Amino acid sequence: MSELSDFRGETRAWLQENCPPGARGPGQVAWGSNRIELEPDTRLWLERMAGRGWTVPTWPREYGGAELTRDEYRVLIEELKRIGARTPLTGRGVNYIGPTLLELGSESQKARWLPGIARGEGGWAMGYSEPGAGSDLASLSTRAVLDGDRFIINGRKTWTSDAMDCDYIFVLARTDPERPKHQGISLILVDMNQPGVKVNPIRLISGASPFNETLFEDAVAEADDAVGGLNNGWTVGKRLLQFERSTHAGINISGSQGGRTSGSRMPERIGRYVSRHGGKLADPDIRDRLICYEQNGAAQRLTQRRVIEEMQARAPGFASSAVKLTGALHAQEGHELLLTVMGTQGIGWQGGSFEPAEVEATRDWLRQKALTIAGGTKEIQLNIIAKRVLGLPDLTPHRH
């Protein structure tokens, strides 16, 4: 216990001295993209934390981490939250592909990719879904043909989040069309800065375009960058999805996110739009919904902490689906509640009748609809929970 206390004292002192004022509280967070200019304090914070190995605290030192134990990691997160310090680095590099490489990558892949990921040198996109292969991902048609020491890739991916600002993409592609569909797939690391990769933004109802269609027209990747080896992409891809879902759930300590969930700001956000009587919210229905929302939020945070403490591996298994789904539904309920109490001020899109925060609340409400789609739909998560967590039988009718 004394060693952990010493670690806390040293960590607190270092953070107090080295966390810039501009990296505390809400603001810009680096996710590795070389196409997005970082604010000075955000850049300084990234460099200092990367130098300490604290952008990926649990990773081995040889790959840019600090090899912190789970208890030390928990202390670091607590001390970061104590001073309001933002995450120095997030994204699919440190949270998705990095942990997957640590577990399933070759030694040469780890040495080539992980140190740069830990320093935030390049943003990563996720090349999974296709127009004809979403939930049935194994039906993908993007092809990667081995030509000597490289792959030639052709095909189309869709819903590739942030691809317009990414430098690299991990792609599930068919590398052996003669094998059964789950066995002829590889997960390949691809540099997006080449003529063979083109990105077309997809405009959403919220007005933003975070998703994209990504086209591969004779794109090139190194043969050595098939993670887990040739035709083993289905196994690797499923493991990566567990890291993705545990990141959404706030329990992935293999990257930079686990345990950082903050308390609720909903009471103060709705406060200006509701009337009070005797110190209580006047509307009993809104009061009951807010109480339920706050209770569920507290339960969600406690569940996150319990799952992190119970993990036997660097990332949880199928339980990540349960925590991810409950977190998504809770977030959506919060936005529904906020717009309910805002009344007509909750339908603002533009114009002088609405404050910027009100317009943003409306657009946030629309964006949150994607939470039960991204990272695996609500229906997929429920199926995983039923089969893999609860052990329920498969009730799909069989033909005789």
| Enzyme catalytic residues | 244
Strand-pair partners of 78: none
CA distance 157 to 162: 13
Tokens describing residue 395:
């009730």
Return the residue matching tokens 């043909």: 145
Listed residue (345, 362, 363) closest to 354, CA to CA: 345
DSSP letter (8 states) at residue 253: T
Asked if residue 75 lies in contact with residue 11, where contact means CB atoms within 8 angstroms, the answer is: yes
Reduced 3-state DSSP string for 115-135: HHHHCCCCCEEEECCECCECC
End-to-end CA distance of the chain: 62
Query: What is the signed CA dihedral for 128, 132, 138, 139, rounded to 10 degrees?
Result: -140
Return the residue matching tokens 């209580």: 280
Tokens describing residue 234:
């289905």
Tokens describing residue 36:
């997005």
What counts of helices (H) and strands (E) characterise the chain? 12, 10
Query: CB neighbours of 270 closer than 8 A, spacing ≥ 6?
Result: 286, 290, 337, 338, 341, 342
Strand-pair partners of 147: 150
- What's the maximum distance between 2 C-alpha atoms anywhere in the chain? 77
